Amino acid sequence: MSINFIKAGMQTSLQDLGRPGFRRFGIPNNGALDPVSLQIANWLVSKPLNSACLEITQAGPVIEFTQDMAIAVTGAHFELSIDDIPVDMHQTLLVNKGERLAFGKLVNGARAYLAFSAEPDLPKIMESYSTNLMANFGGYEGKAFKNNNTLPLTNIVNPKTKKTPKELQLEFGDNYQIRFVEGREWSDFSNATQNSFMDSGYKVTSQSNRMGMRLKGEVLKTTETLSMTTAPITPGTIQIPPDGQPIITLADGQTTGGYPRIGQVITADLSILGQLKANDSISFQCIDVDDAIDLLNAKTNLLKQFLYV
């Protein structure tokens, strides 16, 4: 029982909701960059919402199934086909032994999630199936899939078919306003620089990956050169290195950093970052922590309303 990769795609890796609890050993959370889409995909195949999925980046794979099973694709909008017949995302798809699912053109977004109604027949590392691409552990041999790799599966079931509720079928643009709370060194930037950070807008660069999103735009400098001591950072921390161009830490990012922290992207907006790709635009809006918590609660309640029942 397995999924075979006829073509692997640009970066297809196994991810779940990650491995919290190991940051003090320098080990990041890992896990899906768009955890909302991952959970919806798992719901469509009637799996626990934190189950492992394939995270598919920009250029998708061609996959052959060696067993009947149920699958579902959410997240970035791809054109999909099974044995050359077009199929839709956001629904349970029953696939038969020997059939091939092909990811075609990427319409919008950056990362799709393919859930399957089975367990990976692989060891969990630190309680998670997520792949750490930097240290090469977890997932499938710690790496992104390559052509002709085989993901072994166990405990296959065939669930009922479902569709993603309209309210949760997100389409992704190329221009986002991302909300943040003031970072620890926010006040070391002048008012003019703070405003420039919020008003000028940034472009995502092609140097971005699962560790960090590198941005290009107005150069930002602190009013004085800070002598920073290495300190803990988390996904969403926006640091300003000496070249003045922001870097946002993502799920695979370093656990500590030494550059001024201008802001922290709110947890409710982190999943959107996972759908941005090179040349997409991003602008920043500052809010306070209480509002950030309210926004996360509202977003989670929407998910719960449909998925947790």
Partner 1 sequence: MPFNNKLFVNSDHSILIEFDGDISENLLRYILGVAESIEQSPPTGFIELVPAYNSLLIIFEPLEFQPEQALSQIETDMKQAKMLDASSGNTIEIPVCYDERVAEDINYVADYCSMTVKELIEAHSSQEYTVYMLGFLPGFLYLGGLDERLHCPRRDNPRTRIEAGSVGIGGNQTGIYPIASPGGWQIIGRTPKTMLDIHKSPPAIAHPLDKVRFVPISYEEFERLIEASE
Q: Does 161 bind partner 1 (CB under 8 A)?
A: no
Closest separation between CB of residue 71 and partner 1, Å? Answer: 29
Give 206 or 297: the residue with its C-beta nearer to partner 1.
297
Phi, psi of 273 (to 5 degrees): -55, -35
Q: Of 188, 186, 243, give the one whose Cα is nearest residue 218.
A: 243
Locate 218 and state its tokens. 């107005």
DSSP code, position 229: P
60 burial type by CB count under 10 A (0-12 exposed, 13-18 middle, 19+ buried): buried
Give 191 or 227: the residue with its C-beta nearer to partner 1.
227
List the one residue from 171, 232, 279, 308 that touches partner 1 (CB under 8 A): 232
Closest separation between CB of residue 230 and partner 1, Å? Answer: 6
Q: Does 50 bind partner 1 (CB under 8 A)?
A: no
DSSP code, position 187: G
Q: Does 297 bind partner 1 (CB under 8 A)?
A: yes
The dihedral through the CA atoms of 306, 36, 112, 170 has a sign that is: positive
Locate 4 and state its tokens. 């075979």
Q: Of 56, 18, 53, give the one whose Cα is nearest residue 39.
A: 53
Residues 6 or more apart in contact with residue 11 via CB below 8 angstroms: 55, 57, 58, 144
Closest separation between CB of residue 28 and partner 1, Å? Answer: 8
Answer yes or no: are the C-beta atoms of 74 and 89 closer than 8 Å.
yes
Closest separation between CB of residue 232 and partner 1, Å? Answer: 4
Residues of this chain, 171-230, that bind partner 1 according to CB under 8 A: 181, 184, 229-230
Q: How far apart are CA 94 and CA 254, in angstroms?
A: 39
Q: Does 242 bind partner 1 (CB under 8 A)?
A: no
Size of interface with partner 1, in residues (CB under 8 A): 39
List the one residue from 1, 2, 4, 22 that touches partner 1 (CB under 8 A): 22
Answer yes or no: are the C-beta atoms of 190 and 198 closer than 8 Å.
no
Q: Does 75 bind partner 1 (CB under 8 A)?
A: no
Give 101 or 268: the residue with its C-beta nearer to partner 1.
268
List the one residue from 3, 53, 266, 282 that touches partner 1 (CB under 8 A): 266
Q: Which stretch binds partner 1 (CB under 8 A): 18-26, 60-68, 98-106, 162-170?
A: 18-26
Locate 61 and state its tokens. 């794979």
Give 9 or 120: the residue with its C-beta nearer to partner 1.
120
Q: Does 49 bind partner 1 (CB under 8 A)?
A: no
Based on DSSP, count helices (H) and strands (E) in the chain, helices before strands: 4, 19
The 103-142 site mask, x for binding partner 1 (CB under 8 A), equals: ----------------------xx-----x-xxxxx----
- At position 115, the amino acid (one-letter code) is A
Residues that bind partner 1 (CB under 8 A): 20-28, 125-126, 132, 134-138, 181, 184, 229-232, 234, 236, 254-256, 264, 266-268, 289-290, 292-293, 296-297, 300
